[in-house]
């Protein structure tokens, strides 16, 4: 079997595009989170809301049949202190009856490992916590 050329050996116009998704994929049924899949590089400090916010485009898709996508304030999608400093890009589509599928793209500033929260050691129940401060 002949060796296959790698992408880097090919002319730039024939290379496969590299596409990385940095964000969350989620499915809501009604207003409740049904499932969530995160890109591996999304920091664990971002906690997706369990219920759809009425200001989200996904809510409009479910409740009013209005398709829309665009930028949203982070607090529409995440339960984090200091979230009002960021925006995300929301793309949503109607799924099965009563469901909406959502892609939430996090901006580059949200992907940094440094934040105002750091992971603490486990508590007596074996659960980690978060404390304020730089790491």
41-55 pLDDT, tens digit each: 888 888 899 999 999
Residue reference for tokens 């809501």: 28
Instruction: Please give the angle made by the CA atoms of 15, 42 and 24, to the nearest 5 degrees.
Output: 85
What tens digit of pLDDT does each residue of 73-116 get? 999 999 887 777 889 999 999 998 899 999 999 988 888 755 44
| Residue 116 covered by a domain | no
| Residue 77 covered by a domain | yes
CA dihedral over 41, 45, 51, 55, signed as positive or negative: negative
Instruction: Please give the angle made by the CA atoms of 61, 21 and 117, to the nearest 5 degrees.
Output: 95
What tens digit of pLDDT does each residue of 8-65 get? 555 555 544 444 568 899 999 989 999 999 988 888 888 899 999 999 999 999 998 8
**Cβ 120 vs Cβ 131: under 8 Å:** yes
Residue 76 sits at φ, ψ, to 5 deg, of -70, -30
| Residue 69 covered by a domain | yes
How many domains in the chain?
A: 1
User: Mean pLDDT over all residues of the chain?
Assistant: 76
Q: Tell me which residue range forms the domain holding 77.
A: 23-108
What tens digit of pLDDT does each residue of 105-124 get? 998 888 875 544 433 444 44
The H or E element spanning position 62 is helix 57-64
| Residue 8 covered by a domain | no
| Residue 97 covered by a domain | yes
């Amino acid at each position: 079997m002949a060796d296959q050329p790698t992408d880097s050996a090919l002319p730039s116009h024939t290379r496969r595009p590299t596409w990385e998704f940095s964000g969350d994929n989620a499915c809501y049924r009604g207003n409740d989170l049904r499932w969530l899949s995160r890109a591996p590089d999304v920091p664990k400090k971002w906690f997706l809301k369990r219920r759809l916010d009425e200001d989200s485009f996904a809510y409009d898709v479910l409740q009013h049949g209005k398709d829309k996508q665009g930028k949203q304030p982070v607090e529409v999608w995440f339960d984090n202190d200091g979230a009002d400093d960021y925006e995300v890009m929301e793309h949503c589509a109607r799924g099965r009856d009563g469901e909406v599928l959502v892609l939430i793209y996090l901006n580059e500033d949200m992907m940094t490992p440094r934040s105002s929260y750091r992971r603490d050691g486990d508590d007596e129940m074996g659960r980690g916590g978060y404390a304020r401060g730089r790491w």
